[in-house]
Amino acid sequence: MNKIAFVGAGSMAEAMISGISSRSNQSANEITVMNRSNKERLAFLHSTYGVQTTHEYEVLLKDASIVFLAMKPKDVFTALSALKPYLRVNMLLVSVVAGVSMASIETIINKKIAIIRSMPNTSATIGKSATAIAQNQYVNNEQLQIVTSLLETIGEVTLVQEEQLDAVTGLSGSGPAYIYYIVEAMEQAAEKIGLEKEASKALILQTIIGAAEMLQSSPKTPQTLRKEVTSPGGTTEAGLNVLQTAQVQEAIMNCIVEATAQSKRLGEKIDQEIQEKSLLI
């Protein structure tokens, strides 16, 4: 069984710890977590999931074969610099830090070590994340399979090239917020047309769940499914005509494109800052 270390104890780390400890063969006792100074947070994770906790890097990485990097981007340089003396070349680093490239991680630690970048989304907290992963040249098939299995405890996993992770961020990383935004509009419309809040909430949620399951189970395209619901001169056509006039489809496309571009801009900024800090050492 692999010993797993988590650097960072925030909500995403907790989601992964919860999934791994409850939906895999990994024992919670073989997971060790650390953060910079929040003792209460570590105590909560220990009491809730049974994981080990520490504030010492040497203790954290002793016998660890997989190290999850789950800190904030601004803390990456400091954390990895502190980890560096204890990292072994047979370890696997799994980064869930948005915007930090594998090249930047390699620059900081200055070791030829296996690295996997992952991009989960917030649905990881209920085991329904859409997670993309990318690997560097030092990751072997066994390591890839192990990490894939671990991340499947929080949802679906897709392997992509690292340069595609910005697109993943714009599409599925930020995607839940787009859906919530649409639901907000549906709730407001329901109130306007006279539906009670509790009734409208149930109807909206089941409509979304049903549509998602139709998309997942049917071989038909979204366009075909939409056309099958749309009768000429009917209510659906009337509603869709309003969306088309308002260019809603184009707006959603532009939303995802801009989110992708922002992910790239932020990543380049973070990488540049890391490079500048590395030159000062």
Q: How confident is the model at residue 241 (pLDDT cuts 50, 70, 90)?
A: very high
Residues facing 4 on adjacent strands? 31, 66
pLDDT digits (tens, 9 = 90+) for 38-88: 899 999 999 999 999 999 999 999 999 999 999 999 999 999 999 999 999
Q: Where are the alpha helices (DSSP H) in 27-101?
A: 39-49, 57-61, 76-83
pLDDT at 36: 83
Residues whose CB is less than 8 angstroms from the CB of residue 133 and which lie 6 or more positions away in sequence, other chains included? 116, 117, 118, 119, 147, 148, 151, 157, 158, 159, 160
Counting other chains too, the contacts that 223-227 makes at CB distance below 8 Å and 24 or more residues apart are none
pLDDT digits (tens, 9 = 90+) for 109-135: 999 999 999 999 999 999 999 999 999
Burial annotation 222-258 (CB, 10 A radius, 16+ → b, else e): eeeeeeeebeeeeeeeeebeeeeeeeeeeeeeeebee
Residue 223: pLDDT above 80?
yes
Calculate the average pLDDT of the chain.
Answer: 95
Instruction: Report the sign of the C-alpha dihedral through residues 206, 17, 176, 167, in that order.
Output: negative
Q: Answer whether CATH 3.40.630.30 is correct for domain 174-246.
A: no
Cβ-in-10-Å burial (0-12, 13-18, 19+) of 153 comes to buried
pLDDT at 133: 98
Q: What is the CATH number of domain 4-163?
A: 3.40.50.720
pLDDT at 263: 95
pLDDT at 33: 97
Residue 252: pLDDT above 80?
yes
pLDDT at 2: 87
User: What are the structural domain ranges in the chain?
Assistant: 4-163, 174-246
pLDDT at 38: 87
Q: What tokens appear for 254 in the block?
A: 């532009």
Q: What value does the mean pLDDT take over residues 87-107?
A: 95
pLDDT at 238: 98
pLDDT at 142: 96
Q: Of 138, 137, 144, nearest to 118 (Cα)?
A: 144
Rg (CA), the chain: 22
Q: What value does the mean pLDDT take over residues 245-252?
A: 98
